[in-house]
Amino acid sequence: MQKRFVSIWFRHLLADWFTLRRPELKTVPFIIVEPSGGRILVVAANYLAEKQGITAGMAAADAKAIVPSLKVIDHLPGQNAKLLKALGEWCIRYTPLVAIDLPDGLILDVSGCPHLWGGERAYLGNIIRVLRSKGYDARGAMADTAGAAWAVARFAKKDPIVEPGKQTEALLTLPPAALRLDDIVIERLTKLGFYSIQGFMGIGRSVLRRRFGPELLLRLNQALGMEDEHLELLEPVIPYHERLPCLEPIRTVTGIEIAIRQLLELLCHRLQKDGMGLRTAILKCYRVDGQVLQVSIGTGLPSHYTNHLFKLFELKIPTIEPGLGIELFTLDAPKVEEVEPGQEALWGGNECSLEDNRLAELLDKLSNKIGAAAIKRYLPQEHHWPERSIKIATSLTEKPTTVWRTAQPRPSLILPRPEPIEVMVKTPDYPPKFFIYKGQKHNVIKSDGPERIEHEWWIEEGEHRDYYYVEDNQGQRYWLFRLGHYDNDKNRQWFLHGFFA
């Protein structure tokens, strides 16, 4: 694929930001300053101040001497990076590959994107037009390399679109500063009479390196496409990512459903080819008013079946408010796992098990509708204490490390902590005649036990428990225990620990 880059230059980034928040500054020349080396220097100036000869790097006192009515605003450290990050995130609707270009620009890797917007000219024009409509004085250019796009955006006065393979011709007439060089190198080139790149481009590389250092060659080669340039992307590239820009803003549920299904078909096709399945997916909806809506789904087993995943997203669609319309949909799968080869053989089987995809799909629907926390799967553990003898499984594929103990009955609901009760026992070491739980008296008519469960002395010291299975006169069954041996000289505490179905 032909590589194409867009450079966006915000000529008055800080000034525009202050003007947007303080509209009264729109007609006032002002500068943004910060202390440096014992002096107060101009960091940025708005357009009205620049017209009167004030530039960045000038002493604030000199600027005030030129324009006595100049308004002075203190610089907020780090504001450039913060602003560019926000603008870069907004630009992700045009391409997922966006890098911050401090102090006042962005670099976009737009390879394979412009045709979705009707061509390169319409694509670049749309970006710049919308940024300007938001109040930012933006300029942009497109070229085969980030360096050439950067140079044309800032120094060219003609066509901002550099045709593929034409970056050399586009750079020839531009000044050396268009190569993103240090001021020292630029000054040295200017002193030697190199006022344009054309003047030194034909000089031997060894001579240029010896006279001006390696930076000049690096920047020249990067701009010409002879050396790759690494971009620090704003967001890491997610391997499984799909985009769907819309020619017209989407405002209906039907339109959103069609968009989701198209994205899932693209994503699932890639997953199936790679033998992978989706565990987590994030859908982002970019609205025309700048708002970004986001919904996500999760699966218990890796899946690359479009219909199943669409049904999970279908539950989330009512939460998507299109507002004035959605102009871009993106679908990311940040978490994927390999699909077991044997999974296809089980598809459509008659027996239901944890490996049955139908059960996994049902659990996915329930967890995405009522919340994953509402569904739990338990596994046995090697512990004596009942509350420690089970644990919550982390996934459907997690295997038990021991077998379930079925020699003695266990209640269908075990309290995480035994709750103390008051009892009346007529005979020592017998179950209670009645007990009081939460202020309600329960008369015991049937009982069985005791079942002694010893304390786990290797974890903590304590006494054993004697458990009884009891049924009250209402037909409700409980699991009670007494802590420690029965003793006439000491009252033993009783507890309720579970309920039978």
pLDDT-derived band at 346 (thresholds 50, 70, 90) equals very low
Q: Where in the chain are the domains?
A: 241-338, 376-407, 413-500
Q: Strand runs (DSSP E) across 289-439, as ranges?
A: 292-303, 326-338, 378-380, 390-392, 413-424, 434-437
Give the model confidence (pLDDT) of 347-393 as tens digits: 444 555 666 667 777 777 777 777 777 777 888 888 888 888 888 88
Residue 39 has a pLDDT of: 87
Number of Cβ within a 10 Å radius of residue 254: 8
Instruction: Report the alpha-carbon distance of residue 338 to residue 361 in Å, rounded.
Output: 17
pLDDT-derived band at 341 (thresholds 50, 70, 90) equals low
Is 343 a residue whose pLDDT tops 60?
no
Q: What fold characterizes domain 241-338?
A: Dna Ligase; domain 1 (3.30.1490)
- My answer on whether omega of the bond before 176 falls inside 30° of 0, hence cis, is no
Which residues sit opposite 447 in a β-bridge? 470
Is 293 a residue whose pLDDT tops 80?
yes
48's tokens: 């009205």
- Kindly provide the b/e burial profile for residues 196-208, where b requires at least 16 CB atoms within 10 angstroms of the residue's own CB: ebeebeeeeeeeb
Contact 347, 341 (CB under 8 A): no
Residue 347 has a pLDDT of: 42
Is 478 a residue whose pLDDT tops 90?
yes
- 């203190």: which residue's tokens? 74
Give the model confidence (pLDDT) of 234-255 as tens digits: 876 678 888 888 888 899 999 9
For the segment 12-25, the average pLDDT, to the nearest whole number, is 92
More confident residue, 301 or 489: 301
- The phi and psi torsions of 51 (rounded to 5 degrees) equal -60, -25
Contact 338, 276 (CB under 8 A): yes
- Can you say how many angstroms the Cα of residue 482 is from the centroid of all Cα atoms in its chain? 52
Give the model confidence (pLDDT) of 95-140 as tens digits: 888 999 999 999 999 988 888 888 999 999 999 999 999 999 999 9
More confident residue, 340 or 181: 181
Contact 362, 303 (CB under 8 A): no
How much of the chain, in percent, has pLDDT values that exceed 70? 95
For the segment 479-492, the average pLDDT, to the nearest whole number, is 81
How much of the chain, in percent, has pLDDT values that exceed 90? 36
* pTM tops 0.85, yes or no: no
State how far the alpha carbon of 413 is from the alpha carbons of 401, 417, 418, 452, 478, in Å: 22, 12, 12, 19, 10
Residue 354 has a pLDDT of: 63
296's tokens: 């996500």
Q: What is the dihedral of CA 150, 156, 157, 158, to 10 degrees?
A: -90
